[in-house]
Structure 1
Amino acid sequence: MRWHGAVWLLLVFSVTLLAELPARWLTQGLAISGVSGSLWRGQAVQWGPVGPLRWEITAWPLQTQVHLGFQGQGWQARLSGWPWNWQAELQALSGQVRVATGYRLAGQWQGTLRMRGAGARCSGADGQISIEDLALVEPWSLGLGRGSMQMDCSSGWHLFGQLNQPGQHQLELDADLSARRAKVDFKLQNDAALTPILRALQWLGPTERVGQRKVGW
């Protein structure tokens, strides 16, 4: 018992020491700007298309909270109880300061996704995040329509999404997050504004209106 206790204390000390290191030391080599604070509690101005970014970690019990902005939308992610009996939550918040990117989306997501599990396994999920009028406004204008996202843990980590613009297009996403692959099914109406974009990406043949694309990362 004494030996186990000493190992535990050493582990706690090591983790605490690491967490108090300046965050900029741990992000060297990454495309992150404006980093300040520590691994325990810090912030960054921009990381690729994401920003601003703010995080806070509590060691025991382990709890993590992250606030970030993406395309002018605020998001909050929470994790607690890991690894034995964890709960996670992703919530859409109000607008955030927008960082510079090569494109710009408009629209306000609403809702919350909740997940629970143990270790690397997700045992259940509920909730939905949705948007009524998503649109691309830069570098050109394109209405994308109504969208939604849900998680399903019945057979792994699956993210399902839909994007529907009446009279234009219907897209469905099934992303297997653990396998790092996804498939996108799409159906386009005649003269859909999305058609030339999908053809330029070679997702769609010259005369096709219905198709499927598989991607990996």
Structure 2
Amino acid sequence: MSRHIAWGVLVFALTLLLELPAAFVARQVPWPAQWQPDGVSGSVWQGRATRFASLGPLEWEVRPWAREVRLNLGFQQRFWEGSVRGWPWNWQVQLAPRAASAMPATAWVLDGRWQGRLQVNGAGRRCRSAEGELLGSELALLSPWQINLGSTRIELQCRDGLQLLAVLQLPGEHGFKVEADLQRQRVQVDGRVEPDAAVIPLLVQARWLQPSSQTFSKVLGKP
């Protein structure tokens, strides 16, 4: 009889673990401000959230037997596909754009065409290598202002931690260079604008650019 009871308890525990509601787990997490997920459904192994910070919808599938997490997320007018494999001793993260789609309204809306793929390989908390790039074209800010941004190239580098490098340019208007240290939470933006560039009032209002200047350098986050 004791074996039958033990077996029943084991089956119950496994069933509970496999069907553990994602909404229940989400309520137990002390999320930072503005990170509380909305519309959480499904289980911790395969579920969905209508919004998570500036992302939405967000879908996930955890496959522990394959050491893999698959993600489908909406961000800025597009669906993105991501995956995390082989954690924690030898992991790989990939991110690539997929189909375009209208997303729920956010404080700012960016539109454009994207292609390419980013991949990061690492072990533990250490980034070993990065490859690939994301290319954006016909980029435009639709809200809260309407401004053409041009084209961009985004890449990652494993250089004393994980670094994000981006170049955004629109011939005859502006050119920006972004260097983000993701580990130290520090972003540096260097820019140059042509006279009468459409983006000048925005940069002046944000106090990134002096009214009489055509160049600026701004550091965000930790010094």
TM-score per shorter chain, which class?
A: 0.7 to 0.9
Per the alignment, residue 140 of structure 2 pairs with 135
Tell me the amino acid that sits aligned with residue 172 of structure 1: K
User: How far apart are residue 90 of structure 1 and its match?
Assistant: 0.7
Q: How far apart are residue 108 of structure 1 and its match?
A: 1.8
Residue 83 (structure 1) aligned with residue 93 (structure 2): no
Q: Distance in 2 between matches of 1:16 and 1:151?
A: 41
Unmatched 5+ residue regions in structure 1?
Answer: 1-13
Q: In the alignment, which of 120, 123, 142 is matched to residue 125 of structure 2?
A: 120
* Residue 156 of structure 1 pairs with residue 161 of structure 2: yes
- What are the equivalent positions in structure 2 for 1:29-44 lying under 5 Å apart? 30-44=35-49
Residue 48 of structure 1 is matched in structure 2 by 53
Separation (CA, whole Å) in 2 of partners of 1:188 and 1:46: 35
Residues in 1 aligned to 2:15 and 2:133: alpha-carbon distance in whole angstroms: 36
- TM-score with structure 2 length normalisation? 0.85
Partner AA of 1:148 in structure 2: R
Deviation at 1:200, TM superposition (A): 0.7
Do the aligned partners of residues 192 and 58 (structure 1) sit closer, same or farther apart at CA in structure 2, a change above 3 Å counting?
Answer: same
2:218 is paired with a residue whose SS is: strand
The yes-or-no answer on 1:66 pairing with 2:71 is yes
1:105 paired residue number:
110
Report the Cα offset of residue 102 of structure 1.
2.9
TM-score, length-normalised on structure 1? 0.87
Name the residue aligned to 1:7: none
Q: Percent identity?
A: 38
Q: Give me the whole-angstrom Cα distance separating, in 1, the residues matched to 2:195 and 2:207.
A: 18
Residue 20 of structure 1 deviates from its aligned partner by 3.9
The CA RMSD measured in Å over matched residues stands at: 2.2
Report if the CA contact (8 A) 1:49-1:100 is conserved. no
Cα displacement (A) at 1:98: 1.1
What is the identity, as a one-letter code, of the residue corresponding to 2:215?
A: V
**Residue of structure 1 equivalent to 2:20:** 21
Gaps of 5+ in 2: 1-12
Query: Quick one: distance in 2 between partners of 1:16 and 1:178?
Result: 38
Q: How many residues align?
A: 206
Match of 1:181 among 166, 183, 186: 186
Classify 1:16/1:206 alpha carbon distance in 2 versus 1 (closer, same or farther; 3 Å): farther
Q: Equivalent of 2:210, from 202, 205, 210?
A: 205
Alpha-carbon shift at residue 206 of structure 1 (Å): 2.2
Amino acid at match of 1:25: F
Does the 8 Å CA contact 1:111/1:127 hold for their aligned counterparts? yes
> CA 1:144–1:19 in 2, change beyond 3 Å: closer, same or farther?
farther
